[in-house]
Amino acid sequence: MENNKLRREVENQKMTESNLRSLKNQLDAEKEIRTSQEFDITKLRHEIADLIAEKTKNTNNHERAMRDLSY
């Protein structure tokens, strides 16, 4: 009787350990995905900043050209 109880407890512990390993693997995979996504977001932010700077430069050049044409 006591042996059966101990066997059940051992089996429960094994299942719990297996579930924990599975959850850890899922967490690690999620961390990798998020790290990759954060890298992509940073890259896109830099691209947007570059495009905004280029647009501002082009706008300034156009305004300067329009003023030059006025003279």
- The CA distance from 40 to 32, in Å, is 12
Which CA distances in Å does 55 have to 6, 9, 22, 26, 69? 72, 68, 49, 43, 21
pLDDT tens readout for residues 34-46: 999 999 999 999 9
Alpha helices of the chain — where are they, by DSSP H? 2-70
pLDDT for position 70: 84
Q: What is the pLDDT of residue 13?
A: 97
pLDDT of residue 71: 73
Find where tokens 């297996």 sit.
Answer: 18
Domain that holds residue 7: 1-71
Domains held by the chain: number: 1
Indicate whether 57 pLDDT > 90: yes
Answer yes or no: pTM beyond 0.75: no
Task: Dump pLDDT digits (tens) for 5-48.
Answer: 999 999 999 999 999 999 999 999 999 999 999 999 999 999 99
**What is the C-alpha to C-alpha distance for residues 11 and 33, in angstroms, rounded to an integer?**
33
